[in-house]
């Protein structure tokens, strides 16, 4: 079995300093010591599950750098660097590029004038790349990427501003299995997912709000935020082990377990990573 390798960034400068999705409120803010404890809790679980957690250095003025899922998209030794929709996050890209170049990956960029937010909006499940668009990433960027890496892309329109990245409402856990929150997609997107993913686990609205779909699969274990007991039960019925840990401070920025991680060796559900 391959050893999972996950990139994370400590929340040393994490905070709610701007509002670029409906979860974020500057006036409510977040508590940095609590965020640090919660982030450590996630790291500890991932390490217990056998993952190697690579750590980046946090940077002042880049509060969302903790969400490494948005750094870019991984494909073998290639790193396709994100092209962020918002200026506030575009400043993270040089920092991510530097890390990947220094760690032996080839760094690639999206075509000028298109937006793509990395593994936040593009997830492999089996042979296909499921691609969320409209709120953050563009369809054109997904199609360009699919051509580059030679895989089939299945574009899915995201229709609810609370589920603004694909990884907030869709989570492949194996090449034939995914967790999802159907109301985040239009009828066409729902059909595409139903047609291409044989085993689907629907997250209920209250647990979707707890970011149940923003899960991390490590082998046959699925890690989520706390407060998603029905999702855990459904996963366990399908033979998965589950772990949960409180990540509420990160929900305040619109992120949870999955957003805080980037699988460097390819996610469990990606056929190319086998
Ligand atoms: N505040 C960040 C943003 O709006 C949160 C990103 C969460 N990441 C994710 N992959 N869903 O961009």
Domain residue spans of the chain: 5-273
Residue with tokens 């990160």: 250
- Ligand 1 binding pocket includes 21 (Cβ within 6 Å): yes
- Ligand 1 binding pocket includes 128 (Cβ within 6 Å): no
Ligand 1 atom index nearest CA of 86: 12
- Residues 72, 141: Cα–Cα separation, whole Å: 12
- Ligand 1 binding pocket includes 162 (Cβ within 6 Å): no
In sequence order, what are the residues at sequence separation of 6 or more whose Cβ sits closer than 8 angstroms to the Cβ of residue 87? none
Ligand 1 atom index nearest CA of 70: 10
- Ligand 1 binding pocket includes 97 (Cβ within 6 Å): no
Nearest to residue 90, comparing CAs of 74, 114, 106, 107? Answer: 114
CATH assignment of 5-273, among 3.75.10.10, 3.40.50.10710, 3.10.20.70, 1.10.10.10: 3.75.10.10
Q: Are strands 78-81 and 106-109 parallel, antiparallel or unpaired?
A: parallel
* pLDDT, one tens digit for every residue, the chain (274 residues): 689 999 999 999 999 999 999 999 999 999 999 999 999 999 999 999 999 999 999 999 999 999 999 999 999 999 999 999 999 999 999 999 999 999 999 999 999 999 999 999 999 999 999 999 999 999 999 999 999 999 999 999 999 999 999 999 999 999 999 999 999 999 999 999 999 999 999 999 999 999 999 999 999 999 999 999 999 999 999 999 999 999 999 999 999 999 999 999 999 999 999 8
CA dihedral (245, 256, 169, 54) in degrees, to 10, reads -100
CA of 254 from ligand 1 middle (Å) equals 6
Active-site residue, 259 included = yes
CA of 271 from ligand 1 middle (Å) equals 25
Q: Whose CA is nearest to atom 1 of ligand 1?
A: 253
Q: Whose CA is nearest to atom 9 of ligand 1?
A: 259
pLDDT at position 2, please? Answer: 83
CA of 116 from ligand 1 middle (Å) equals 12
Distance of CA 114 to CAs 26, 74, 84, 91, 133, Å?
A: 28, 18, 9, 16, 11
Out of 9, 142, 165, 213, pick the active-site residue.
165
Nearest to residue 11, comparing CAs of 47, 84, 64? Answer: 64
Q: What is the largest CA-CA distance in the chain?
A: 46
Ligand 1 atom index nearest CA of 214: 11
114 φ, ψ (degrees, to nearest 5): -120, 155
- Ligand 1 binding pocket includes 166 (Cβ within 6 Å): no
Active-site residue, 203 included = no
Ligand 1 atom index nearest CA of 136: 12
CA of 187 from ligand 1 middle (Å) equals 25
Nearest to residue 169, comparing CAs of 220, 123, 226? Answer: 123
Q: Whose CA is nearest to atom 8 of ligand 1?
A: 259
pLDDT at position 241, please? Answer: 98
């Amino acid at each position: 079995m391959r050893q999972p390798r996950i990139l994370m960034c400590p929340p040393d400068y994490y905070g709610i300093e701007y509002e670029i999705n409906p979860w974020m409120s500057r006036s409510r803010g977040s508590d940095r010591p609590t965020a640090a404890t919660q982030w450590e809790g996630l790291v500890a679980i991932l390490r217990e599950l056998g993952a190697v957690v690579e750590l980046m250095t946090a940077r002042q003025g880049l509060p969302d750098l903790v969400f490494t899922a948005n750094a870019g998209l991984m494909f073998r030794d290639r790193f396709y660097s994100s092209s962020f929709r918002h200026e506030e996050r575009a400043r993270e890209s040089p920092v991510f590029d530097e890390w990947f170049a220094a760690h032996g990956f080839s760094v690639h960029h999206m075509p000028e004038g298109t937006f793509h937010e990395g593994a936040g909006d593009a997830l492999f499940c089996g042979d296909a790349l499921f691609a969320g668009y409209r709120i953050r990433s563009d369809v054109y960027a997904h199609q360009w990427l699919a051509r580059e890496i030679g895989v089939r892309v299945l574009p899915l329109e995201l229709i609810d501003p609370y589920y603004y990245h694909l990884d907030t409402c869709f989570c492949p856990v194996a090449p034939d299995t995914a967790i999802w929150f159907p109301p985040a997609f239009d009828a066409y997107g729902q059909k595409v997912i139903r047609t291409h993913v044989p085993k689907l686990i629907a997250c209920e609205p209250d647990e979707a709000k707890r970011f149940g779909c923003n899960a991390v699969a490590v082998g046959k274990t699925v890690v989520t935020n706390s407060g998603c007991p029905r999702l855990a039960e459904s996963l366990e019925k399908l033979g998965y082990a589950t772990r949960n840990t409180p990540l509420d401070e990160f929900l305040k920025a619109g992120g949870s377990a999955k957003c805080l991680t980037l699988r460097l060796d390819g996610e469990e559900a990606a056929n190319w990573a086998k």
